[in-house]
Amino acid sequence: MIVVHGLDPANQPAAATEKMSSVAPDLPLAATAPALCGPLQMMPAGGADTGVTAAATNGGNEMGMIALGGGLLAAAGSAYAVRRSMTAGR
Q: How far is CA 4 from CA 30, 38, 60, 66, in A?
A: 12, 10, 46, 45
The pLDDT of residue 18: 79
Total of domains in the chain: 2
The pLDDT of residue 60: 62
The pLDDT of residue 70: 95
Question: For all residues of the chain together, what is the average pLDDT?
Answer: 78
DSSP single-letter state for residue 35 = E
Q: Are 48 and 40 in contact (CB under 8 A)?
A: no
Give the mean pLDDT of 81-87: 90
Give the mean pLDDT of 51-74: 80
Q: Does residue 44 belong to any structural domain of this protein?
A: no
Domain that holds residue 86: 62-90
Q: pLDDT for 30-51, tens place per residue?
A: 777 767 767 777 777 777 777 7
Give the mean pLDDT of 3-22: 73
